Structure 1
Amino acid sequence: DKTQANILYYGLTPEAHLWADEIETMGLEGIRFRLHYRRESFSVRVPLIGHHSVQTALRATAVGIVEGLTWGEIIHGLQRSPTQLRLVAVRSSSGALILDDTYNASPESTLASLQILHEMKGRRIAVLGDMLELGPYEQSGHEKVGVRAAEVADVLVAVGELSKIIARAAREAGMKPEKIFWVPDTSQAIEVLKPLLKEGDIVLIKGSHGLRMDRIVNALEVIG
């Protein structure tokens, strides 16, 4: 009501100008969905991981529409997306699949990563570090992540002082105490994980950059 700009709404319902339905997640193979705009619809497969990535594809599509790209150009661009936003999948020496999302962490991005973990098949292990610089959102942000971890993960490894909040919230949400590990730093997280991981496990590793969660990935990843 307060802008003179043209507005293009996107979403997952027909009320939006641009919307998607029939969403199917295919693990590391990406996502498939049907795209709708005005009276046209297209089946699209995009090499992004997780149900929430449909929103990323919709935003890109909306920009393409506004900039006057053809549908052929838009769909070709979506299908050739060169990167999965900072999340990388690697194998551990035990055969477990590691979802390396260690670049940084906020409650919102961690919840999104936990959703990806939820969509994967196998024993799900969440390795979650402190989320720094949240200010007044520090307590509630970590608690929300802990509650969701209890819903999604079979095992939780909490890393860092603030992650005690995650571990406590997960336990209060019903996760069995023997499935929750708290460690003060990444070196001890590595010691917990090495004997724990086995083939078929899916391991999400995420935390703020200051915790250097990437060291866990480096210690577990198969090189060469």
Structure 2
Amino acid sequence: ADGIEGLGLEGVRFRLHYRGETLHVRIPLLGRHSVHTALRAAAVGIVERLTWQEILEGMSAPSSQLRLVAVPGPRGSTILDDTYNASPPSMMAALNLLDELEGRKIAVLGDMLELGDYEREGHEKVGLRAMEVVDILITVGPRGRIIGETARRWGMPADRVHILDDNQAAIRLLEGLVQPGDVILVKGSRAMRMEEIVNALSQG
């Protein structure tokens, strides 16, 4: 695949090359990293002997928006709901998508679990990338705290970093913080139940 172009909240387009054929693909998945997901789906389709038309229709269907989805937030904001799970690579990919979008960028990042010996380093790397991308960083949980502390330590202004203990505190903060045009990324490991934040804001 080449010619990868992020279309913001519209998805991604790219060229897919296979045995001398070139196909132009547009998928509704968010973020350039989702091209890997699409290529895996195409490979399965080839093995199952589907036609290219069937494969492309499957990839471009709105229902293929698996993980990260955009939902309307309060006061004309947009929430990027990526609460299904979290690892350092998927956190980085979500922050890279946020970096491509217009508007004030808010990241609400929770603990990444089951990292073992890589736990501190993984959270620190996310903190460094968040510092480069976001205007306001909100962290939830004891491991999320490492993300926030790293961003502060490397120069992110303290008043733009909010280190919180739980989802309810994040909801209360966001309710008074969100402005029209904001883009809010919400992401953490499944056990953090960060969909509570998305649900509260999208219904507010």
Residues matched between the structures, number: 204
**What is the letter of the counterpart of residue 131 of structure 1?**
M
Structure 1 stretches of 4+ with a deviation exceeding 4 A read none
Aligned to 2:147: 166
Aligned to 1:49: 30
Aligned to 2:11: 30
| Alpha-carbon distance between aligned partners in 2 of 1:191 and 1:79, rounded to the nearest angstrom | 37
Equivalent pair of 2:30/2:69 in contact (CA under 8 Å): no
The more displaced of 48-57 and 173-182 is 173-182
| Alpha-carbon distance between aligned partners in 1 of 2:23 and 2:191, rounded to the nearest angstrom | 42
Equivalent pair of 2:109/2:186 in contact (CA under 8 Å): yes
| Alpha-carbon distance between aligned partners in 2 of 1:215 and 1:73, rounded to the nearest angstrom | 36
Aligned to 1:82: 63
The structure whose RCO (Cα within 8 Å, separation 6+) is larger is: 2
Equivalent pair of 2:109/2:187 in contact (CA under 8 Å): yes
Equivalent pair of 2:105/2:184 in contact (CA under 8 Å): yes
Alignment counterpart, residue 139 of structure 1, candidates 94, 110, 120: 120
| Alpha-carbon distance between aligned partners in 1 of 2:48 and 2:190, rounded to the nearest angstrom | 35
Q: Given the superposition, is the C-alpha separation of residues 71 and 210 from structure 1 closer, same or farther in structure 2, using an over 3 Å criterion? A: closer
Aligned to 1:40: 21
| Alpha-carbon distance between aligned partners in 2 of 1:116 and 1:110, rounded to the nearest angstrom | 10
- Partner of 2:65, secondary structure, is coil
Q: Spell out, residue by residue over 1:106-136, the C-alpha distance to the aligned partner (whole angstroms, 9 max, x if none).
A: 2222222212212221111000011122221
Residue 102 (str. 1) matches residue 89 (str. 2): no
| Alpha-carbon distance between aligned partners in 1 of 2:24 and 2:153, rounded to the nearest angstrom | 42
Residue 150 (str. 1) matches residue 121 (str. 2): no
Residue 121 (str. 1) matches residue 123 (str. 2): no
Equivalent pair of 2:92/2:129 in contact (CA under 8 Å): yes
Q: How far 1:173 moved relative to its partner? A: 3.3
Q: How far 1:62 moved relative to its partner? A: 1.9
Alignment counterpart, residue 178 of structure 1, candidates 149, 159, 165: 159
**What is the letter of the counterpart of residue 181 of structure 2?**
G
Q: Given the superposition, is the C-alpha separation of residues 210 and 69 from structure 1 closer, same or farther in structure 2, using an over 3 Å criterion? A: closer
| Alpha-carbon distance between aligned partners in 2 of 1:128 and 1:117, rounded to the nearest angstrom | 13
Residue 207 (str. 1) matches residue 174 (str. 2): no
Aligned to 2:2: 21
- Partner of 1:171, secondary structure, is helix
- Partner of 2:179, secondary structure, is coil
Equivalent pair of 2:74/2:178 in contact (CA under 8 Å): no
Aligned to 2:172: 191
Across the aligned residues of Structure 1 and Structure 2, the Cα RMSD in angstroms comes to 1.6
User: By percentage of residues, which structure has more helix?
Assistant: 2
**What is the letter of the counterpart of residue 43 of structure 2?**
A
Q: Which runs of 5+ in 1 are unaligned?
A: 1-19
Q: Which runs of 5+ in 2 are unaligned?
A: none
Q: How far 1:81 moved relative to its partner? A: 5.4
Equivalent pair of 1:91/1:222 in contact (CA under 8 Å): no
State percent identity of aligned pairs.
Answer: 57
Equivalent pair of 2:31/2:97 in contact (CA under 8 Å): yes
